Amino acid sequence: MIFYYSGTGNSRYVALQLAKLIRDEAVNILDNDLDADKLRQAIALSVDVGFVFPVYSWGPAPAIVEFVASLPDNILRSKYVWMVCTCGDETGLTHRMFGKSIQKKGGYLEAIFSVIMPNNYVLLPGFGIDPKDVEEKKLGSVSARLRNISESLRNKDTVVDIQCGSWPVLKSAVYPLFRRWGVQPRKWHSTDACISCGQCARVCPNHNINMSPDKDGKSRPVWGTDCLSCCACFHVCPSNAVQYGTFTRKYGQYRHFLKSE
Ligand SMILES: Cc1cc2nc3c(=O)[nH]c(=O)nc-3n(C[C@H](O)[C@H](O)[C@H](O)COP(=O)(O)O)c2cc1C
Ligand code: SF4
Ligand code: SF4
């Protein structure tokens, strides 16, 4: 069984491709139709349990950490547990932090991989998506990388194959600050370029956006406070009308694996 969390689709793509390659089932942890009891039974019957998620601020995306924390104690004992994190460049100590979450559920991370994918981060000035040639280069190497990973998973290898980058301890030290201050939901807004299509609301993995009439009766997105900082609403907008504070007006959008359905 493969559990995944994804904002802009990179990790979903990786999870679905790996599911095909190793003939397993991929489950979106934020799927509204998930039945907690059936899920627990399914995990109990699984020999392998995998997790696929993006790196946020050199750590595991909080949504996947919270999902693991919600599982019953010892449910991962005696399983072959693996993780694949997708990242723009480097993971820091993501695997160590996630390994601790797994240990709390009686498991041990046997296999650890990263896949470098196009960057989607736009929430701080000075960051932004990759230039087109870098994006294409990254995407060009994904298939071969996933085939290698799937081979290791089929062999049940014990392996750490991850791009930590330089100064991982230092970089991952900012993760707790990210969890506390990484996104200020009030900064999300739509500009007058909004065409009321509702795609931002549909794409939000946490259902944090509602369409509501503005003072002129035009349907506009309204952001709630449960933002996962995934940036999907920013990237999906066909009019580039979703903005975060003032600086994102300069940033391009990343859409490769983003689907509004
Ligand atoms: C809030 C946030 C923080 C991020 N932090 C990192 C990071 O520390 N290192 C990195 O290489 N990529 C980082 N990224 C880029 C994503 O990990 C990368 O684009 C990932 O593949 C996105 O996955 P998704 O499309 O499944 O959401 C960050 C992205 C977001 C939205
Ligand atoms: S995706 Fe853009 S255009 Fe569509 S409703 Fe949201 S802000 Fe408006
Ligand atoms: S509001 Fe936007 S950034 Fe926040 S979780 Fe939803 S789609 Fe992601």
* pLDDT tens digits, 145-199: 999 999 999 999 999 999 999 999 999 999 999 999 888 999 999 999 999 999 9
Question: How confident is the model at residue 33, as a pLDDT?
Answer: 87
Q: What is the pLDDT of residues 36-58, one digit of tens each?
A: 889 989 999 999 999 999 999 99
Asked if the model's pLDDT at residue 124 lies above 60, the reply is: yes
How would residue 126 be classed by pLDDT, with cut points 50, 70 and 90? confident
CA 96–ligand 3 middle distance (angstroms)? 26
User: 195 and 239 in contact (C-beta within 8 Å)?
Assistant: yes
Give, using CA atoms, the residue closest to atom 8 of ligand 2. Answer: 194
CA 74–ligand 3 middle distance (angstroms)? 32
At 90, give phi and psi (nearest 5°). -150, 155
CA 38–ligand 3 middle distance (angstroms)? 28
Q: What's the rounded Cα separation, in Å, for the pair 252 and 226?
A: 24
Amino acid type, 45 = L
First to last CA, the chain: 23
Q: What's the rounded Cα separation, in Å, for the pair 39 and 27?
A: 10
Give, using CA atoms, the residue closest to atom 6 of ligand 3. Answer: 204
Nearest atom in ligand 1 to the alpha carbon of residue 8 is 25
Q: Find out whether the beta carbon of 229 lies less than 6 Å from any atom of ligand 2.
A: no
Average pLDDT over residues 122-144: 95
User: 47 and 41 in contact (C-beta within 8 Å)?
Assistant: no
At 211, give phi and psi (nearest 5°). -90, 130
Q: Find out whether the beta carbon of 1 lies less than 6 Å from any atom of ligand 1.
A: no
Average pLDDT over the chain, rounded to whole? 95
Question: How confident is the model at residue 219, as a pLDDT?
Answer: 97
Predicted TM-score of the model (pTM): 0.97
CA 7–ligand 3 middle distance (angstroms)? 8
Ligand nearest to the CA of 197: 2
Q: Find out whether the beta carbon of 200 lies less than 6 Å from any atom of ligand 2.
A: yes
Q: What is the pLDDT of residues 57-109, one digit of tens each?
A: 999 999 999 999 999 999 999 999 999 999 999 999 999 999 999 999 999 99
How would residue 260 be classed by pLDDT, with cut points 50, 70 and 90? very low
Question: How confident is the model at residue 36, as a pLDDT?
Answer: 87
- Cα 148 from chain centre: 21
| Residues with Cβ within 8 Å of residue 159, at least 6 apart in sequence | 110, 111, 112, 113, 152
Question: How confident is the model at residue 250, as a pLDDT?
Answer: 85
Q: What's the rounded Cα separation, in Å, for the pair 78 and 207?
A: 35
With CA atoms as reference, report the closest residue to 43 among 101, 106, 135, 86: 106
Nearest atom in ligand 2 to the alpha carbon of residue 203 is 1
Question: How confident is the model at residue 119, as a pLDDT?
Answer: 97
Asked if the model's pLDDT at residue 137 lies above 50, the reply is: yes
